Structure 1
Amino acid sequence: MNDRKWTSQDIPSQTGKRILITGANSGIGFESARVMAGLGAQVILACRNEAKAVSAMAKIRNQFPKAQLHFLPLDLGSLDSVHVMANMFSEQYDSLDVLLNNAGVMWLPQGMTEDGFESQIGINHLGHFALTGLLMPALLNRAGSRVVTVSSIAHRSGNLDFEDLFFERRRYGKQDAYGQSKLANLVFARELERKLNASGAQTMSVAVHPGVTSTNLATPGLQQSGSVLLAKLVKMVTPLVTQSATKGALPSLYAATSNEIEGGEYIGPDRFYGTFGYPTAATSTRRSNNPDIARKLWQVSEKLTGVQYPLSATT
């Protein structure tokens, strides 16, 4: 990347592009949807809560009356839901330009998805792993398509314990579980790029992180932990010490649209150790670059989700 500060004003017209964004009803997902729709893209909001998605679409149309917006129901904590949504997509569309794996949960108290996965890695990683694999045929149908996966600076504290991925034996820590899930996002994005390259596909995989951004991501976890007052305090204080969701969405938008991006990159804010600023190449831990860890995560993810990608190495 060059030294010039990149903003959404640098994005060319997205007319004719189709982008699917998970968790697009709020936060950086909503900002990504709003910007892309305003630039002419057809945007599919894949969200768990239909009412919130409809409200988000109304806000976008209020600013951009001609916005092309569609809703698909998606609960990443349910593999059945992931399969149903993928089938609904394939019935309506034959190709996809950008899949933005944006949705996530943070600091949840210990719990399980309906498939028996620890909630944070189940939703943040395994749900997206399954979804990406099921939508891969549509991505492969569009040359130059991209998979953008949102990780976090919290990946730095993450450790993938394949012997106890769901904290069934070790002491559960909600921050530890979140860090593990965000490390999984980054490791997955890089391993996906390796497999796309090996197969000769004209699709790329990129990871991003939003820095420290003002969203409601942590609120549900704090409320579920019984920390209602703390959740309210965090909601009040967060905007004072973080950057806006509009700014936090820039790495995602850069990865989704820039002609300078390359597969396998990790993009985040450029100031104060990646906590805020404009998109640039981000640093990451050795674990996140370890190909042995990546291969193991891929194998485990295939086994747990039952989803195998339609990619084979070229000879």
Structure 2
Amino acid sequence: MSVRPWTAVPDQRGRRFVVTGATSGIGLMTARVLVHRGAEVVLGVRNVEKGAAAADRMTGPGRAVVERLDVSDLASVEAFAERVGDVDVLVNNAGILGVAQGTSVDGVELHLATNHLGHHALALRMLPRIGDRVVVVSSNSHRHGELDVSDLGWQRRPYKPYAAYAASKLANMLFLLELQRRLTQDGSTLRVTGAHPGSTATAITASSGHGFFSWLGSWGHQLVGMPAWRGALPTLYAATMDVPGNSYIGPHGPGEFLGWPTMVGRSAAAADPALARACWDASVELSGVGLSLR
């Protein structure tokens, strides 16, 4: 497939974004480009000092605002959603990969809590104040994901870090599918779009605490993958271009590892409406947050 290079992010003056996990990697580059194109960008970050340092390096007609947000902590998510105000676009980007087995402050397995559940709660709490769309940053690893909604905490199964990550990325895709279905059913014009960065050199794997993933993050993606600015392009495309709800954007090349943004496919599990509803119900039960447009 031949796809023309795309770096032409439209002018974003007058628009307001939230980007989670905006101090490094895809989130940092997404926020930096949006500020450069004139947007006001709220950086939702765990470390506000690191966030302030990142914001200071963002230049352009827009501006960056730093707010504390730990997406693995549902109380932090609620507090952030209450104070952030109206936005045009929420970019659910923050994530972890390959960490040792553990639970969040809410007792939820860490990959699920950080990559999916906190973003589920954040999007639904903010939804009445979102004007345009929610962007879900997933991963091609969702294709390897197996989501057991009866054992989301890996209590019955042997814990495997990459399998837990892949399952959380599948949960991202199911959230994309089900939230768009519910919005459309309710007559809402809000859109939910998704993106994945392909093979991109970022810090997500380098700090996993797992030898192989740390090596991969430090060297593997740098040797064969794309720089962070290229990996951020699918997210920027999903956040700023006129694409329909439930669109999924990734690199155009073989295996979706490298390339320029284009519409890409997803696994059969990620398109399963019954599994999407089951994941939604389990997420509402765990987070205590359901859908309300009022």
Q: Which residue of 2 aligns with 1:138?
A: 129
- The AA in structure 2 aligned to 1:71 is V
Per-residue displacement from partner, 1:95-143 (whole Å, max 9, x unpaired)?
Answer: 211100000000111010010100001110000000001100101xx2x
TM-score scaled by structure 1? 0.90
Kindly state the Cα deviation for residue 230 of structure 1 after the two structures are TM-superposed. 7.3
Q: Which residue of 1 aligns with 2:52?
A: 54
CA distance in 1, matches of 2:89, 2:2: 26
Residue 177 (structure 2) pairs with residue 186 (structure 1): no
Q: Report if aligned partners of 2:203, 2:217 keep a CA contact under 8 Å in 1.
A: no
- The AA in structure 1 aligned to 2:235 is S
Q: Which residue of 2 aligns with 1:26?
A: 24
Q: Report if aligned partners of 1:107, 1:178 keep a CA contact under 8 Å in 2.
A: yes
CA distance in 1, matches of 2:236, 2:172: 17
Kindly state the Cα deviation for residue 207 of structure 1 after the two structures are TM-superposed. 1.1
Q: Report if aligned partners of 2:27, 2:94 keep a CA contact under 8 Å in 1.
A: yes
Q: Which residue of 1 aligns with 2:207?
A: 220
Q: Which residue of 2 aligns with 1:203?
A: 190
Per-residue displacement from partner, 1:250-306 (whole Å, max 9, x unpaired)?
Answer: 1111111112x1101111000021001011111211110000000111111111100
TM-score scaled by structure 2? 0.96
2:223 to 240, 257, 277: 240
Which SS does the other structure have where 2:260 is aligned?
A: strand
- The AA in structure 2 aligned to 1:121 is L
CA distance in 2, matches of 1:232, 1:189: 31
Unaligned runs of 5+ in 1: none
Q: Which residue of 1 aligns with 2:39?
A: 41
Q: Which residue of 1 aligns with 2:68?
A: 73
Q: Report if aligned partners of 2:139, 2:195 keep a CA contact under 8 Å in 1.
A: yes
CA distance in 2, matches of 1:310, 1:230: 39
Q: RMSD in angstroms over aligned alpha carbons?
A: 1.7
Which SS does the other structure have where 1:219 is aligned?
A: coil
The percentage of aligned residue pairs carrying the same residue is: 38
Kindly state the Cα deviation for residue 238 of structure 1 after the two structures are TM-superposed. 2.8
- The AA in structure 1 aligned to 2:170 is L
- The AA in structure 2 aligned to 1:202 is T
Q: Report if aligned partners of 2:32, 2:58 keep a CA contact under 8 Å in 1.
A: yes
What aligned pairs does 1:249-260 form with structure 2 within 5 A after superposition? 249-259=232-242
- The AA in structure 2 aligned to 1:262 is P
- The AA in structure 2 aligned to 1:59 is R
Q: Report if aligned partners of 2:204, 2:217 keep a CA contact under 8 Å in 1.
A: no
Q: Which residue of 1 aligns with 2:79?
A: 84
- The AA in structure 2 aligned to 1:8 is T
Which SS does the other structure have where 1:171 is aligned?
A: coil
Kindly state the Cα deviation for residue 3 of structure 1 after the two structures are TM-superposed. 5.6
- The AA in structure 2 aligned to 1:148 is V
- The AA in structure 2 aligned to 1:19 is F
Per-residue displacement from partner, 1:193-245 (whole Å, max 9, x unpaired)?
Answer: 111101111110011111011000012212xx4x4x97367413431111111
Which SS does the other structure have where 1:76 is aligned?
A: coil
Residue 138 (structure 2) pairs with residue 160 (structure 1): no
Q: Which residue of 1 aligns with 2:246?
A: 264
CA distance in 1, matches of 2:216, 2:283: 37
Q: Which residue of 2 aligns with 1:109?
A: 100
Kindly state the Cα deviation for residue 4 of structure 1 after the two structures are TM-superposed. 4.7
Per-residue displacement from partner, 1:42-79 (whole Å, max 9, x unpaired)?
Answer: 11100111121111111113xx3x43110110001111
